[in-house]
Structure 1
């Protein structure tokens, strides 16, 4: 029986350590700026070795921003095939939900927002990551809708999606009693209402 429990304990410990590293990285960024600390500073703040930091993250950007936006490949395949609802915008929202599913630590999200807003270097890294994600998503839209689908329309949909994320971040700063996902859904509902 204890062997069955070991992997879940190990996963929980791994998640806890990664979260502690990210929290320390954000705290250092808020205190010193993104370029004002080193991986050695992070290791000392989190009371781990430098090697441990690199067992969890590839570098400073990954520590502070997380490992990137990940969406389950099966859901991407379903999207490209025209699902799950058959309505492009609604299906983009489903993918967005998958991307934020594991990012539910509201305190971490609030700290991340504060760090990004206060540090231009970090803001540039966020924009770079979002541009990479948008490029990948635009390719998925092209595969789904075909080459004749207007590129401008595709970019507009993706910019709307990014605006929803940004607005949800503003909302959570104003009202931390709700989850990021709840704020994201409320933002989408507000946009639908305004455009109806």
Structure 2
């Protein structure tokens, strides 16, 4: 699927890779908060994470990628089920379920809080976060197009994705305010509040 990198069902090996990548990200975030984005090198990161410089580059292309962490991963079976019209048959409900799958592995509120703190201190990182969200939205939009067909009104697709991004943004705010709950829990609470408000 275009613009949604490495959408696959994680194997044990892949799960270990994700954990290593998240550890590198956490070390990079802590270095950024302590020294600023320009105040540390990949060598500093390798020392902090107790890995080789080469290992860092096996996971990430550069410092900005370290800070942003692994790309969005969604189980291929979930994507296939969505495109086929599932799991509920209601487009927005199913889009929320797909988004829920995308954030499932990113449930560490502490990591998300660190990322938010690092990003607000550097406008370059903020721009990169927006770019990544736009790429993810393009991936979701492609799923919607495959499911609904080319005749589906583009303005409706954009509206659905903007609502979804609003849910993500609100869940980020909630996670920063209450890191004791997972991002997934905050995302679910955001969706529940939106349903209640629109009922």
Q: Larger RCO: Structure 1 or Structure 2 (Cα < 8 Å, ≥ 6 residues apart)?
A: 2
In 2 relative to 1, CA 32–164 (structure 1 residues): closer, same or farther, beyond 3 Å? same
**Per-residue CA shift, 1:83-114, capped at 9, x if unaligned?**
11000111011111110111122211110111
Matches within 5 A, 1:7-22: 17-22=20-25
Question: Aligned residue for 1:117?
Answer: 120
- How many equivalent residue pairs? 189
C-alpha contact (below 8 Å) 2:31/2:40 kept by paired residues: yes
Q: Going by fraction, where is helix more abundant, 1 or 2?
A: 1
Q: Are residue 46 (structure 1) and residue 49 (structure 2) matched?
A: yes
TM-score normalised by length of structure 1? 0.87
Worse-matched range after superposition: 106-115 or 29-38: 29-38
Unaligned runs of 5+ in 2: 1-10
**In the alignment, which residue of structure 1 is the partner of 2:101?**
98
Contact 2:42–2:53, Cα closer than 8 Å, also in 1: yes
| Bigger radius of gyration among the two | 1
1:55-97: per-residue Cα shift (whole Å, max 9, x none)? Answer: 3333323321112111111111111111110001110111111
* Partner of residue 137 from structure 1, selected from 117, 136, 140: 140
Residue of structure 1 equivalent to 2:184:
181
Select 2:66's aligned residue among 63, 68, 77.
Answer: 63
SS of the residue corresponding to residue 84 of structure 1 reads coil
TM (norm. structure 2) is 0.86
Any unmatched runs of 5+ in structure 1? 1-6
Q: CA RMSD, aligned part only?
A: 2.1
1:28-76 CA distance string (max 9 Å, x none): 2223333443212211322322112123333323321112111111111
Deviation at 1:11, TM superposition (A): 7.5
